[in-house]
Structure 1
Amino acid sequence: MHSSPEFRSLKAKIRLLCKQRRIRLEEFMKTFDVHRVKKIKSEQFKRALDVSGLHLSSTEINLLLMKYRIPDDPSFVDYRRFCDLMDKVFTVKGLEAKPSIHSSTRGDFEALKTFALEALTPAEEAILAVIKQKLLAAVMNKGIVLKDVFHDFDRSNAGKVTRPQFVRDISDIVVLSSEEMDVLLKAYGDKLDVHYRALHFDICPGASGAGTKAAQPRSPERRHLSAPNGTHQCDAVQELEAELAELVLRDRIRTKNFFTDFDQLRTGKCTEAQFRRCVKLCFPIVTDSDLALLVQKYGTIKTLDTTKVDYIRFCNSVEGRIKLENNNYDDILATITKATNHSSADKCSRTMRGSLTDTDASVHQAMMQRLHTYCSTRRVLIKPTFQDFDKGKREHITVDQFFRVMAMFKLTLNSDSERKALLQRYSSSHGDRFVNYVTFCYDLENWGSDNQRSGSRPSSRGLVSEIIVPAKLRADTFEETAAESHVRSVPMLIRYIKQTIKRDRIRLEEYYRDFDKLRHGKITAAQFCAGLNAAGFLLSRAEMALLGDEYACQEVDSMGKHWIAWKAFVDDVESVFTVKNLEQNPHHDLKTLETREGQFGGVIIDKDLTPDEEEEVKRVLLKMKREIARQRMEIKPAFEDFDRSKQGFISSTKFERVLSMFALLPALASDTRLLVIKFREQAAIGTSATLSSICDVNYRAFLQALQILGGYLTNSSAEDIRKLVLPGSVAFRQEVYQSGIVNHDATKRRARDDLGGKADLSQLLADLRRQLSEKRIRLKEFVVEGDKLRSGEITVAKFHTALNRSGCVLDAADIQTLSEHFRSTRNPDKINWRSFLEALDFSHGVSIPTSARSNQEQQQDNVKLILERLRNEVNHRRLHMKPYFQDYDHNNVTRVTKFQFAAVLDMMHLCLKPAEVQTLTYQFAHRDGRKMTSDVNYLSFIQAVDSDYS
């Protein structure tokens, strides 16, 4: 009979393997249990264990057979008892019927704590510690996950590999001496294998159990948390929270999201059962004793039937945030109030900044002013480099990554006080180890305009609404923050709205119809603002109030606020598209809409330049022309790269970008603005009627101005340059039109079609017959699709479509010839397709003159006589001409030139006159479509004269 210690050791081994590999043994046994009687034969039991990949020895399998063999029928094994016992490592069956049972699976692993067959000496322990340090440094520097290195050899995912495989893989990571390798194999090896997974959890950073001894590997699957004594409960809880914090940091777990489903009122508390369930979902490795410790620490309200647990304090503790000792309802209300008022005690976010003392604030202002001057002068854009380190778009990076980017752009800090102030100001809400680079970049870019802005800004939402509807709490965006810093006037707002709706093709009426069911044309102020927000306009409350006052009605609503005439507002802004009721007023004067002032609410735009500004533009252009001539640059292709549609103008930002690429951008922003105004795209009548012209630059006019100034660089006085008048975009376009240059492709195509003559109808039909025969095209099926009633006539457009879909190769002259010849006599706008198909038929044809027919018959007779004579000569002399033609046809295209054709005939000593050779060349000429080429199709000629190929 088997001994009890042997079976307990085997049971612990199988449970450990099942736990590591997540194996349910019952799934392998079911395959052999067809009738579901929960018993299988002994041989089937062995096969199931072998398929599961447990790799048990014959002695161990026999031990299991002796244990679970059915006494009444020794040939069968009761696998249900075996599987239920082994599955206790996951759960215990019948817990629904007996909820008071407390299961624990930790005691089964007591016997399997070590891998080393012999204990390590103190000297070997020291060597092992050095080896772990080497492996840790190699893993950190190379970015390696240690256990993934051995997965190729561990096909069954048992967590171990053979000794040669272990030595081979570990040597690729770190160089170890023979003595160190022996110590490592002794510490983590058994008789044949080495447990690499235990080594991984011992040395890998962030893994649970890292840093413990090799004899007691601690992994997430094999944690051993003993129940602490009463005197050491505080230390045990702190140790448990530290390990859970490591898991949160490693796996990036958001623990609070697991609890909010049970706390709909956001009180920050849940029941004990809900707390245990959520913690178990977050951290499956936590045992019941651990949960009891957590409940004992964070339990707040205890009644007869339940216990309330403060999960907010628990989440803040494991996530490394500030702990709130007395987290009751008043504390939560104070927290919401503090977040609502954007207190300086909060961490940095898009709307808040960290608090600074007076000394640190002065240091921070001097530092940001210096960095802002450096970045704006050198035009440094650092945000994309920060985003390279933020792959998850979380808007924060580590401190080391932050200062690494600063060093890349040579943004140095003068002292430790500046570093301290910077980290304190922009420390992320995710922890002190992270920096909110998005807020830093925004402050750095806008430091010159809003450096006096305080670190906190009152929220635009009320406290009561945030408490009642906490799910709608959100941070203000940068656009909203910037929009509230200044208020635009009503004409500027109308211009902005018109620009946006014309660019994005927005119809504002669709956003207000739902608020005005009866179409009175009036809505409340709140509905008016809601419509603007839904349309996507970034307007502050003050700007919306201005628009509401502009279109306010005399009537007031129940709140005492004036109604808003939304129809008048929509008609005003949508006048950028058209004017309503033109059908009723056909004589309405639309001249006011031809200018941008009429389109965009009478906003004052930039007028023409003054004489002094014209002189400044000439000076800037002369400087550019000298630089272009000195470096021999060609800048026109760079402008055309941004002008995909070849319109001749691009946006002002792209214009400045091209000049910056070639280092031609003026140093002063005022000079750049003068260039944009000078060459802005506008129509011939004063200003343009298009929206895009507000910010577009005609680069062709700019290039022409540079070309004109190029002639004044040499042999020109200052007086000549002063009298020179550079053309703008309007003058440039008028000059181009007056020169008679036609650039439109459709105009060119139309002119080419008009100049093209008509094709010969007989040759055209012959070519169509040849194409239909070679390509096996059934043209009638394509034509009759346009004539459902089979009237015999189709429109010209459908006739052209049928020819195009059939695949016949025809040009514009061919199609025009067919359309004119087969036009219907009853309906001149249609084609008689029946007569067209009859003309294509060989039994019907187009009438050919008698003289032309007699000439063709005579030529055919001459060709037949020549071919008959050549055929007799080839058969009599047994000539084989194809290889001689192929000597000239290296690409095997079955054609040669007419001179090569004549050379082969002369080589064969065929007595042919030049006229006869010319006749054969014409008869077997290669055709490219319907065009006759000078090449000869020698394959057709050979098939005609050689009986072996005919």
Structure 2
Amino acid sequence: MPHCKEIKLGNVWRSCNKIRSAIFRVGLNLWEYYLPLDHGKTNLITESQFTSVLSGPLKIVLALSDQEISELADYFKVPDGRILYRQLCEVIHGSVPDFSKNEPLVSGLEWEDPLQVNRLSGTEERRLSVLITKIASIVNLRKLLLMPFFQDYELVTKNNGTVTIAHFARILDYLKILVSADDFNLLIKRYQKDGYTINYMAFVNDIDNTIKYMEAYGILDLGGDVVSQFPGRVISAELPKLPRPEIGKILAASIFGKQSIFHPALEPPKEQRDLMTLMTRIQRHILENRIRLSEFFEDFDPLRCGKVTVSQFHRCLDAIGISGLHRLYLSLPEIETIVTQYKDPIDAGRVCWKTFEDDVNQVFTTQELEKCPSPEIEKPPQEVANLPKMGAKVWDNVQPPMRDLCEEAVEKVKNKTMKRGILLKPWFRDYDKNNNGHVSRSQMRQSILASGILLSDEELYALEERFNDDVGFNYFWFLREVEPKMEEEPLYAGYVEEMKKVNAPKRPRPGTNDEKDIIQVLAKIKGKVVRERVNIMQFMRDYDRCNEEVIHRADFERALSAAGFALTPCEMETITEIFSSPKRCCCVDYKRFCETVEEAFTQACLHRAPLIIPLQHVPAKDCTRNFLNFDERQTVNNALQKLCKKPDLKTNLMSIFTDYDKTKCGTVSQHMFMKALSLRNMADMISRKEFDAVCKAFGFERGMRDEVDYRAFMKLLDILHANDKHLPF
């Protein structure tokens, strides 16, 4: 037909590639746009509907021209004029690669491993294995400790497990370990790090593992040397026809599993932990190091939406795992497990870090605890508190013979330390430079041997199985088992018991009749108000915020205590009961109480009776301590009749009392009172019984002792001398 335009497949394919690149870049899904238009689910829509999607909301994203949209419509058109959109969606989405199924080539954590080494070829691996075996045999034969020689250099440089190539060569030369130039270059190629340093921790670890391997499979003789000694003094991996000490031991090695010393590629992969175990480990790490998770994620979430990308979540987890005290290692599959659990259901490329933080912070507290404050919360949870160390075995799952052997070894060490008075901690502490409570296996054996405790290899192996973890031998845990503290009684056991009795809650004593008498209580309060001019209203007005003229009983008692009224609990209860509000039983009418106390100065409603002269309350100093009965009154009467014969005008007794009263408070002690009477020859006029009765009659409590009110005494003598009559007692 002349009006039909010829369709070129190259143009259609070019348009499909443009749509495919836009989808790969933005993440679109054409099915979401076309399925709502297909109500009958026939995979066919009209041409206008097909064109409206590509030229409407997706025109800017796909960047298709009208001619390209027309060519796509013509290509996927069926004979009835409708468009088969299903074929277009399959062509576009069927060729998009799924990168999530591919394993990562580099995890980014290789160089953070302290035992990371470089890869070698198969031939070089074989040469290095033989070379390490030779060095290990010399180290074991001479009983050398390689780690202290490297750590002395690290204490100065702080290189975190690395030394320079020159220093590595000097250490080998100092230890008389002679290697050829080719072998030294092979060691550098294997353990080189950062281009100019040597990872000596990986080197020493390979040496220790090789020695353990040779001891376990009988490659060493009783003297600690290899069964078939290597010829020559210079160690070289290129010497012809070297003896094969591992021949005949491969079968035994295959029985007990693959060894990673000569076959690192055959090392079994670590068992991946489940999600609950990972969350428990993270909670334990957060609890021990007191880490606040929000500080790591908020920098990547400026809008505070609670979500970050997957790569940012990876980065934050890596930063959280690095701590000044501990190191929490999470493998890539374990991180992927956490990401899958907390992935955003709307956007698959983002992770809900706020939900992750709430779940981890359960180790500190429970969310929304204010809504249900009654339940008792145990923090940290029991499963987090009892979580074993990384790499430590669950001792309940160990075979019974191994557990019995370990218990026997621990009991043997405990008995020897208690009988001989041995301190094991200094021996372990010499090897623990970082004071993290861990030493290596060889250092553990040397510490126990140096302390004079002889254990068999089986018993030492049982101790390692019990107290080993990822860091090493936990000697803190071991010392808690073998060095129990003796229970000693306190040196001040009697003093402690007395203090417990003193601090024990006391029973409330029953109130006296005076404490229950409101007249006596008000007299006590009025006397203090008159003497010290206390304004009670200013102490109680602050508690009446709504100006209701009533306050709570607790506030009323608090106000009286602040004002300085030393009332007993019984007196306080008496006042609150008398002045309680009739409409509100839990409150006190403080306004009525203040008006009653103010009667000590004036009377209420004087404007209604202007002729009444108010009388001010005169507080009495008498109390139960200076109460006199009839006989004592007669004794005091006789004593005063004798003393009034010498008036103050002749004896000048008042000046002596004034000299003794340094603070001018009007009272002196009984000793000073007797001394003043003796100076004026008045003490001989009365007996000791009469003197005690006079001191009691004019007694006044000041501080923690009873004194004599000499002013009242002198005033009464003047009155008796002037009137020359009997006392009114």
TM-score band by shorter chain is 0.3 to 0.5
| TM-score (structure 2 length as normaliser) | 0.38
| TM-score (structure 1 length as normaliser) | 0.31
Relative contact order higher in (CA < 8 Å, ≥ 6 apart): 2
